Every structure is written in structure tokens, then in C-alpha cells.
Amino acid sequence: MFVSSYFPLVLIFIIKDFNTTSMRPSHPRIAIAIAGVMIIACAAVVVAARSIKTGLPTELLKVSNKSADMFTYTIPYMISFYNFTLGDWKTLACLVVFMSIMFMLCYKTNNFLVNPVLALADYGLYDCEFKSGDTKWQGLALSRAVLKVGDHPKVEQISQFLYLVTSPVEKEETHGD
């Protein structure tokens, strides 16, 4: 999840490494390696999110759209505007240290699950109050459907406060007498 969240940064680095004379990256092995890892990571995130089918039936009591929060990862993109070359081992070592620190921060705060790849795959982020039976709780939900108060989605917990909507959102049926 974490690796795929930085796929635009990899594209920026490959573009910066592009040699217009030879019409290829100046460091093709490194560029191909990181592009390959990124493609695999992005595909794995989307496939994993779409493959989860289980979930607890819930009712949504409160919902607010937090999809803009999926872009809070952008601060590391500022490093792409510095003199950066894929062929300099010191620069790559600094990038590894920086990304390791970012990973630890994201992991500790559970933000590594909030991923722009999921936004591109039509997932929105919602702050919700859920109810199941007599139990109520608050959390963030990733959903491909727009969530509204009164919906009855199935959700699967994927971290302490993050849930994935795993079934189509169902409205409560009203029965007329």
C-alpha cells in the first residue's frame, strides 16, 4: 500500500532522468526496476481492495466526505524539484532514508491505507458513524459508492479506524401498510 501511494513521484523521477538525446532514461536499469515495482504495487492495491468481499452489515448514522484527505501525502513530492539523479548512490540512499521515515510515520498513523491509487480507482474516503445492532462506532470508510446517512453497507475493518465498504450500498427498505 505504501509503495503504490508514491507512484507519481516515481514517474517524476523517471521523467527527470530522461535523456532527450538518447530518448531513454539515463539510468535505464534503475528506472525500469522502480517502474516495475510501482506497477506491481499499484495493481496489487487495486486487486486487493476489490477482492475483499466479507463484511459486517452496518447502518450509517453520520457521513462526511474526506476524499480530499487522500492527497495529504503530497509533501514528499517537493523533493522531486531538487537536483535529483537516479545514478547518484548518495541521492538514492537519502531517498531510501526519507521514504523509510515516511513509511514509519504513515504506518504509525494508519495513513498508509489512504492511497491516491485507490482514489484513481474511484474510491472515496468518508468519515462515518456506524451502527451494527446496539453497537455504534466512528471510523473512516473507503468506498467506491457515494455514502449517505441511512445507507446499509457491509464494511470490513482493515486497520484500527479504517474500514472498506465491501458491498453495494443498500437503502433501508420502507414497507407501506
* pLDDT for the residue numbered 177: 44
Distance CA 38, CA 20 (A): 23
What does the pLDDT look like over 26-81, one tens digit per residue?
Answer: 999 999 999 999 999 989 988 988 888 888 999 999 998 887 665 555 556 666 66
Range in 6-10, 56-60, 167-171 the model is least confident about: 167-171
Does 59 fall in a domain? yes
Beta strands in 6-55 (DSSP E): 18-19, 24-25
Residue 6 Cα distances to 71, 152, 173, angstroms: 11, 33, 42
Does 117 fall in a domain? yes
Distance CA 52, CA 58 (A): 16
* pLDDT for the residue numbered 155: 94
Confidence bin at 175 (pLDDT 50/70/90): very low
Does 172 fall in a domain? no
Distance CA 39, CA 70 (A): 20
Parent domain of 46: 3-165
Model pTM above 0.85: no
Structural domains of the chain, count: 1
* Arithmetic mean of pLDDT, 14-21: 87
Does 51 fall in a domain? yes
Does 50 fall in a domain? yes
Does 146 fall in a domain? yes
Range in 5-9, 41-45, 150-154, 169-173 the model is least confident about: 169-173
Does 34 fall in a domain? yes
What does the pLDDT look like over 105-159, one tens digit per residue?
Answer: 777 766 655 677 888 888 888 999 999 999 999 998 989 999 999 999 999 988 7
Structural contact between residues 64 and 125, judged by C-beta atoms closer than 8 angstroms: no
What does the pLDDT look like over 77-103, one tens digit per residue?
Answer: 666 666 667 777 887 787 788 778 877
Does 176 fall in a domain? no
Give the residue among 68, 86, 63 at the shortest CA–CA distance from 140: 63
